[in-house]
Amino acid sequence: MATITRLQKSRRMSQIVQHGSTIHLAGQIADDCAQAIDGQSQEVFCKIDTLLAQIGLTKSAIVFAEIWLSDLADFAGFNSAWEAWVDPESPPGRATCQVGLARAGARIEILVTASAES
């Protein structure tokens, strides 16, 4: 049976959950929600990079990303930021949709599933 490891836990959730070789990151949003989509995207990418680094991984380990935008008008701007950040040799599967986000001013939230196997 695979072990489940939870890191950066609070009463509500864990920022990182590893089950065997599969890693799930909690949804990441920008702290500074006054920024435009490119700034919020960069902040979220930085958070993802930091969380993955804590378990010895990089963005090339991402197998799937769920991208939630509060407004699909930000889709092109997000894609530009994403393409500058994503590992071009290891692009993950991805889905993007428009949703109402819980934090006022948040334009984007990203959930990541990664693999500790190469």
CATH number at residue 56: 3.30.1330.40
How many domains does the structure of the chain reveal?
A: 1
- pLDDT value of residue 2: 79
- At 63, is the secondary structure helix, strand, or coil? strand
Residue 54: pLDDT band (50, 70, 90) is very high
The separation between the first and the last C-alpha atoms of the chain, rounded to the nearest angstrom, is: 21
Chain segment 4-20, per-residue pLDDT in tens? 999 999 999 999 999 99
Q: Domain span at residue 34?
A: 4-115
What confidence tier does 113 reach under pLDDT thresholds 50, 70, 90? very high
Q: Choose among 53, 73, 59, 35: nearest CA to 110.
A: 59
In this predicted structure, the answer to whether residue 1 has a pLDDT above a threshold of 80 is: no
Supply the pTM of this predicted model: 0.95
Nearest to 94 by CA among 107, 78, 105, 106: 78
